[in-house]
Structure 1
């Protein structure tokens, strides 16, 4: 993982990855970029292959030398020995609150899932694919899903050096002005910036919408206002809406498991199981957990028998920890909608149960396009709070120069006034303590990758933020946190 190797400062997760896999060879594309991580984590007896450069004091092999190696019959023999049960790769979980686990991905799993995707999304096989994609290959969305569909169906994959950050999205927008994808995948943070930019950027609208047949988002919830904005731009430019697809997946499912099956879809809908996958809905702690069994589900975690045993129930279904409910109880063919992570839900000190997933979605929608995510607080306390993770767009509210710090932007009168109005509106619409945000705070300190508060695809982990920012949570609910907003009624 580039994030573990270049962004991380302590390399704890990278060291754990290497200890788990005990590789005989480690490849790095650039010696200068990865030398520090290699020196900190790779044992001296492990062969290191470099795309460019060298590491002082360490024996390495040039990748060009490997490419010059003549193939022998052993290559064909190894290829011929591959079966459906052969391991294709290991994909590590994000490790947001614990050290990452190595998910076993077999050739059979990956092949089955790619065929499942084609049957759930026929557009993938209708014409040669063109993707413009930033998603990291060490994550299942980029490395199994997007990379896989191009290999399976044929097409062109342009590597986008952007990412869903203020600086990175500028590169993504530039690429999408030049290269027109046939389908486009991103996380909600990326779609938020694209939706905002398309309102005023005619070249982006013209090129991005010229031949795209489907948008697809995953990894987090996309707020309905952003969804609506994408539809409005498409109707304005090409006279019709571009299909927005989404679903529910996981690294252990390779990742595609559930997807919407109708154009009449709303934020939070995830749809129906992909062909060949069995779902079991199990009541857990007042919610309904979705469990999976099928050809795309992992056999377990590498060198972690305990985690593997705990992940499956007595009928062999993988326990996802995701809660779902029916979109329409009178028409089950419409499928399911996401109802949060079971482990994230909690009770107030009054015994009132708080459903975090729907609460987050409601807050994000009300704050769009200025908030990426909301961390819900109040475990064993008398009321709900929210730590708000701002998007770059929030700067447009402040009327401050670009040189202003994020602290200054968030503390500015226009920003505070806007979010005061949002909080007042949310309070007026609440039905009780389980749905009322009693206090909120805009976070100037970005989530930390090293602490597991954010993954390399930009997803915020609730439990990790609550764990590492306990002092902020205490100050928020104790009334001593500067910049705290409370409803005026």
Structure 2
């Protein structure tokens, strides 16, 4: 059903070593790699000058820029950047979200050899998160800071640590910031000479890690890392080069997947990037649906909760469904495993609508790997598979007695280290130079590595019960999230040094509101009888299907207050800082194991 995509079957070379480790490499050779992102821009401005590259909402329509218009703007902006004291030691900090002006500034900086540091807009918009922004500022010492709207991001501009940085804004108002529109005018700088000096090793970005286990670290991201990753994707997914791809996407550009993978996928292949001003969140998903009604994308990126909401909308709106599947080549999920029910509904709707299936897949990667290192590029038999090594990536697996493997990687897409942090850089690599991911993987078929790898949690998330039994927390958490949907948005497992596994639950308030369920606050724990009964029934059902205390949750407590970004319990990407939550909410953890506590939900 996917024959029209001319997909390349997996081809993996396996090497078993004397020390017990396993090396996996792609059987395909890496194709040509561009020098830098600016070469892509020149290529498409020359080949398809009037084709739409960037578009964003403008009232009921779209503001669109063609490739030649983007190149002209990028060269003008680059000239103004060259005339300032900017560079690797004084990068450009970008504090606002996705926009055309954000894209133009980033591309111009890469054209001129000035690194950018895009950060989560929540760092500026949530007062309690400003210390996180201050940490980034003191780490990278920016010479310029950009915000789309100076009034909206006034909290960031007012930071003492940014007092010496030039402020730049597309809507400066009365802030005193330089007007971004002034950068679109002529400048006498020698832009051609600056661009000619860009090499594959030129630093393009400093991308901040999520900070889910420590303060955010600055990942040094070179031109080579980004251009190599796109060459790898082109080898694995030939349909992206067969015709210009079209993307309607909300994933934030401070994150490597949205800002490097998705953005550059359009630029490298002459595609069109429609900036989605919505997201799968209350009050915003309707914007996404409106955008999808306007534009038929060839690729659909989202997180599982976004696809779940999309399925509901597609089933209720035949016209939207036809528009969504009209040109679709690939549905790509990331961030968590896609529930099998959502996968099945997407396939059913696709077949009913257009008679053929898009490729439904996922991959694995990190900020440190630019990001894709593993990719499922042939049709999968279900969710949860993250694929095989891309061309040019070497995967090292260090298996334990149960077949679970510590994953390490090397190749041209892997960072050389962290900005101004030699200690963390040294810790990140093993003696052979492989990056230590901290993630666990499992071969789907030990006898056939081309079947791919399945994510098996974080090595550091695992813990031991009092019995000495290991709890594989990563996979157990994914299983529970699928089993407890749609009542639970996230959860934290407990049980270190105890006899049983428990969990703290972040409830889905939207589902509760839709059902009219009330909640009583009891010192941080929620008492909501119908929700507690629903969760207890599901935990009881799960317990009946599993064996062993490490695979079964005995009890839970529902949180009244969601994890706080300001207190370090959650990151801007939505990831939970499990150790921080367990430390700050130790009292609630204790209540999970108090059989007399009225807030305790027990599996029977």
TM bucket, shorter chain: over 0.9
Question: Residue 303 of structure 1 aligns to a residue in which SS?
Answer: coil
CA contact (8 A) 2:137 2:162 kept: no
Q: Which deviates more, 166-175 or 9-18?
A: 166-175
484 and 238 in structure 1: CA distance in 2 versus 1, 3 angstrom threshold: farther
- Give the aligned partner of residue 343 of structure 1: 460
CA contact (8 A) 2:128 2:565 kept: no
CA shift, 1:55, in A, is 5.0
55 and 463 in structure 1: CA distance in 2 versus 1, 3 angstrom threshold: farther
Q: Does 1:136 align with 2:252?
A: yes
- Which protein has greater RCO, CA pairs closer than 8 Å, 6+ apart? 2
Q: Does 1:52 align with 2:52?
A: no
Alignment TM-score, normalising by the size of structure 1: 0.92
- Give the aligned partner of residue 155 of structure 1: 271
CA contact (8 A) 2:557 2:588 kept: no
Alignment TM-score, normalising by the size of structure 2: 0.75
CA shift, 1:466, in A, is 2.4
Question: Residue 573 of structure 2 aligns to a residue in which SS?
Answer: coil
**Matched ranges for 1:287-436 at <5 A:** 287-391=404-508, 394-395=511-512, 398-399=515-516, 412-436=528-552
- Give the aligned partner of residue 191 of structure 1: 307
CA distance in 1, matches of 2:193, 2:594: 67
CA distance in 1, matches of 2:138, 2:151: 23
130 and 64 in structure 1: CA distance in 2 versus 1, 3 angstrom threshold: same
Question: Residue 158 of structure 2 aligns to a residue in which SS?
Answer: helix
1:230 is aligned, of 324, 338, 346, to 346
Q: Which deviates more, 275-284 or 92-101?
A: 275-284
CA distance in 2, matches of 1:366, 1:11: 36
- Give the aligned partner of residue 214 of structure 1: 330
- Give the aligned partner of residue 22 of structure 1: 141
CA distance in 1, matches of 2:486, 2:160: 40
Question: Residue 260 of structure 2 aligns to a residue in which SS?
Answer: helix
325 and 238 in structure 1: CA distance in 2 versus 1, 3 angstrom threshold: same
90 and 480 in structure 1: CA distance in 2 versus 1, 3 angstrom threshold: farther
Question: Residue 174 of structure 1 aligns to a residue in which SS?
Answer: helix
- Give the aligned partner of residue 9 of structure 1: 128
- Deviations along 1:280-306, one digit per CA (max 9) or x if unpaired, are 012469741110100100011111101
User: Alignment length, in residue pairs?
Assistant: 481
387 and 305 in structure 1: CA distance in 2 versus 1, 3 angstrom threshold: same
CA contact (8 A) 2:172 2:178 kept: no
CA shift, 1:480, in A, is 6.0
CA contact (8 A) 2:225 2:413 kept: yes
1:246 is aligned, of 362, 386, 392, to 362
CA distance in 1, matches of 2:585, 2:236: 41
Q: Does 1:90 align with 2:203?
A: no
- Give the aligned partner of residue 281 of structure 1: 397
1:203 is aligned, of 297, 301, 319, to 319
CA distance in 1, matches of 2:352, 2:521: 37
- Deviations along 1:242-285, one digit per CA (max 9) or x if unpaired, are 32110111000000110113313322211101111001012469
CA contact (8 A) 1:247 1:271 kept: yes
41 and 194 in structure 1: CA distance in 2 versus 1, 3 angstrom threshold: farther
CA contact (8 A) 2:359 2:378 kept: no
1:127 is aligned, of 240, 243, 247, to 243
CA contact (8 A) 1:226 1:368 kept: no
Q: Which deviates more, 92-101 or 463-472?
A: 463-472
CA distance in 2, matches of 1:264, 1:111: 27
CA contact (8 A) 2:122 2:129 kept: no
CA contact (8 A) 1:186 1:216 kept: yes
- Deviations along 1:335-394, one digit per CA (max 9) or x if unpaired, are 111110000000011111000122112212212333333321111111011223334662
Q: Which deviates more, 376-385 or 192-201?
A: 192-201
CA shift, 1:225, in A, is 2.2
Q: Which deviates more, 373-382 or 331-340?
A: 373-382
CA contact (8 A) 1:11 1:41 kept: no
Instruction: Give the gaps of 5 or more residues in structure 2.
Output: 1-118
CA distance in 2, matches of 1:456, 1:43: 21
Q: Does 1:63 align with 2:180?
A: yes
CA shift, 1:92, in A, is 0.6
CA shift, 1:437, in A, is 0.8
CA distance in 2, matches of 1:454, 1:207: 36
CA shift, 1:213, in A, is 1.0
CA shift, 1:158, in A, is 1.0
Instruction: Give the gaps of 5 or more residues in structure 1.
Output: none
CA distance in 2, matches of 1:377, 1:203: 46
CA contact (8 A) 1:226 1:369 kept: no
CA distance in 2, matches of 1:241, 1:47: 50
